[in-house]
Amino acid sequence: MKLNTLFFVFCILLTACGGSGVTAVKPEIDVEIINQSSRLLENALARFGDYTCEWGYVGKTFSKSYLYYPHPITVQTELSWSEEGKPRVEKLDLKAIYSSGKSGRLTFTVHDDHVETSFVEKN
């Protein structure tokens, strides 16, 4: 084959693969809440932009996970719940722990006086 023909075939294959030769894969994110507070968490949810990850009731010393959360994770996040009928909201900035496009587990740990966040990347 001529060099021009090989180049043409290569261009067709590259275009068929989306131009980069690699298929984009959506990151797999698990989102978890851990209740280390002294109260029952009611209506617990995390808001990522227009989407929410909802766990409902989370008992003291319990955790709940949403495996393979299907929506994007935003670095500006709101965690909300009620304790004994009183609403609580924590505005969180995840920039320091989460990079968009990474797969892993995002964890919110609720204490009586603060919320901790962590992200563990999947290998």
pLDDT digits (tens, 9 = 90+) for 34-90: 999 999 999 999 999 999 999 999 999 999 999 999 999 999 999 999 999 999 999
At residue 113, what is the residue type?
Answer: D
Residue 69 included in any domain: yes
Strands, sheet with 76-83, edge to edge from the N-terminal-most edge strand: 51-58, 41-48, 76-83, 86-93
Q: What is the pLDDT of residue 46?
A: 98
- In this model, does residue 7 exceed pLDDT 70? no
How far apart CA 103 and CA 120 sit, in angstroms, is 9
Structural domains of the chain, count: 1
Q: What is the pLDDT of residue 13?
A: 43
Residue 65 included in any domain: yes
pTM of the model as a whole: 0.79
Q: What is the CATH number of the domain that holds 66?
A: 2.60.40.2890
Residue 68 sits at the vertex; the CA angle it makes with 110 and 52, to the nearest 5 degrees, is 55
Q: What is the pLDDT of residue 15?
A: 45
Spatial CA neighbour of 111 closest among 38, 59, 46: 38
Residue 20 included in any domain: no
